[in-house]
Amino acid sequence: MDLEDTLLMMPGPVPVAPRVLRAMSKPMINHRGAEFAAMYDDCCEILADVFKTKNDIFIISGSGTAAMEAAVGCTIGKEDDVVTLENGKFGERFKDITARYGKVNPLENEWGHSFDLDEVEKKLEEGAKAITLVHNETSVGIQNPAKEIGRLAKEHDALFIMDGVTTIGGDDVRTDNWGVDIAVVGSQKCMAAPPGLSMISVSNRAFEAMEDKENLPYYLDLKAYRKSGGKSQTPYTPAVPLFFGLQEALHIVKEEGMDSRIDRHAKCAEAVRAAADAMEIDMFPQLNDRYSNYSNTVTAMKAPEGISGNDIKKDMLKRGITIAGGQSHLSGKIFRIGSMGNVQPKDILLTIQELEIVLKKREFISELGTGVEAASEVLDSLL
């Protein structure tokens, strides 16, 4: 099947608007010149509103994982204790990155299960320089309670380092209000830019933690980014075409407005959940507290008994739609539908329609239309 005819409905990368692709084809410019500096400042100004922060913001030529490593590598020393919260693949990744630099004190939940805030507090009471959290764990479709964990971090004088890779730009993220010292996001998720860039906000408190840190990373040295950022530059050669694309994608975000963008993401995810309920498909996340929620950017569902999630994924691809399966030990057990970036109601409805056909052919459902009807009711105000 022609890739141009395939609809990406996975948790990143997401479809990129034609105007973003056109922006990336602009002639190359001097990355140390005034034109690049103006573009860098424009991006950072819009990002400040997206992050809801007054902290410094930097743009790194590297994926979200690069920003995660910059956050940890610049603040954590080999004798520092760090509480790492894991209930999915990317929490596990944050733990593994942290273990390269400091002493990990992990709180490991079953993937997709909510954290017990009392257990989080007990970990912090043992003493910690920092705590890491994945706000939206896309591997299992659960949104973790960043606000509450930020409060606990503040009470125990721990740096709060948050992966906002799949919420910033599409969901309600309040960096300063939640006390997030370092927040990171990837370009190819909610902001609907091409993969390859990450953005990071850094508080003064986080910079203070870097003062006594020995052996800072070289390429990911946030102090170097701060020095260059003061001149509207990056410390090392930036991926200029990706910056062109990011700037145009951020203009799309600004034109839509964050409130409207958050509402659209929430309704699209709610529509997928409503359709799943109508088709008697169970959600995968186990929300056993009042602070966690289902993700507003990806929906993780259990594969119906007798059907592999990987087979559903393959069948959907044959019908022109790319969805995601489960990662690691969840492979074949779940399937995931993304609803982030510039996803529109028509994309959701088409995806649900094709999913119904796939499930009917596999004799899981007996009739078509119930899922689409349920999704349509949720999306009515956006149609």
Per-residue model confidence as pLDDT tens digits over 195-212? 999 999 999 999 999 998
- The pair of three-digit structure tokens given for residue 38, joined into one six-digit string: 């103006």
Q: Are residues 309 and 349 in the same domain?
A: yes
**Coil, strand or helix at 76:** coil
Question: Would you state the pLDDT for residue 290?
Answer: 86
Across all residues in the chain, what is the average pLDDT? 96
Q: Are residues 207 and 354 in the same domain?
A: no
Residue 289 pLDDT exceeds 90:
no
Q: Are residues 112 and 245 in the same domain?
A: yes
The Cα 14–Cα 182 span in angstroms is: 25
The Cα 66–Cα 30 span in angstroms is: 24
Interval 223-227 mean pLDDT: 97
Question: Would you state the pLDDT for residue 3?
Answer: 63
Q: Are residues 234 and 267 in the same domain?
A: no
With bands split at pLDDT 50, 70 and 90, how would you rate the model's confidence at 21?
A: very high
| Helix locations, the chain, DSSP H | 18-24, 34-51, 64-73, 89-99, 117-125, 146-155, 204-210, 222-229, 240-256, 258-278, 309-318, 345-361, 370-379
The Cα 298–Cα 4 span in angstroms is: 22
Question: Which amino acid appears at position 130 of this protein?
Answer: A
End residue of a domain, out of 229, 254, 279: 254
**Coil, strand or helix at 150:** helix
pLDDT digits (tens, 9 = 90+) for 82-133: 999 999 999 999 999 999 999 999 999 999 999 999 999 999 999 999 999 9
Question: Would you state the pLDDT for residue 382?
Answer: 83
With bands split at pLDDT 50, 70 and 90, how would you rate the model's confidence at 366?
A: confident
Question: Would you state the pLDDT for residue 10?
Answer: 95
End residue of a domain, out of 254, 288, 303: 254
End residue of a domain, out of 231, 254, 277: 254
How far out from the chain centre does Cα 337 lie? 14
Q: Are residues 301 and 329 in the same domain?
A: yes
With bands split at pLDDT 50, 70 and 90, how would you rate the model's confidence at 2?
A: low
Q: Are residues 271 and 213 in the same domain?
A: no
Residue 213 pLDDT exceeds 90:
no
Q: Cβ distance 301 to 334 under 8 Å? A: yes
Q: Are residues 105 and 229 in the same domain?
A: yes
With bands split at pLDDT 50, 70 and 90, how would you rate the model's confidence at 364?
A: very high
Range of the domain at 103: 18-254
CB proximity list for 24: less than 8 A, separation 6 or greater: 194, 241, 242, 244, 245
The Cα 334–Cα 303 span in angstroms is: 5
Q: What is the DSSP letter of 283?
A: B
Count of domains observed in the chain: 2
Interval 227-232 mean pLDDT: 96
Q: Are residues 99 and 236 in the same domain?
A: yes
Residue 336 pLDDT exceeds 90:
yes
The Cα 180–Cα 167 span in angstroms is: 14
Pairing mode, strands 182-186 and 197-202:
antiparallel
The Cα 117–Cα 289 span in angstroms is: 9
pLDDT digits (tens, 9 = 90+) for 43-88: 999 999 999 999 999 999 999 999 999 999 999 999 999 999 999 9
Q: Cβ distance 110 to 145 under 8 Å? A: no
Q: Cβ distance 274 to 375 under 8 Å? A: yes
Residue 4 pLDDT exceeds 80:
no
Q: Write the CATH number for 361.
A: 3.90.1150.10
Q: Are residues 72 and 155 in the same domain?
A: yes
With bands split at pLDDT 50, 70 and 90, how would you rate the model's confidence at 358?
A: very high
Q: Are residues 239 and 307 in the same domain?
A: no
Phi/psi at 372 (5° precision): -65, -40
Q: Write the CATH number for 114.
A: 3.40.640.10
pLDDT digits (tens, 9 = 90+) for 258-285: 999 999 999 999 999 999 999 999 999 9
Interval 285-306 mean pLDDT: 94
The Cα 187–Cα 193 span in angstroms is: 5
Residue 1 pLDDT exceeds 60:
no
Q: Are residues 218 and 306 in the same domain?
A: no
Cβ-count burial 323-361 (b if 16+ within 10 Å, e if not): bbbbbeebebebbbbbbbbbbbbebbbbbbbbbbebbee
Q: Are residues 246 and 356 in the same domain?
A: no
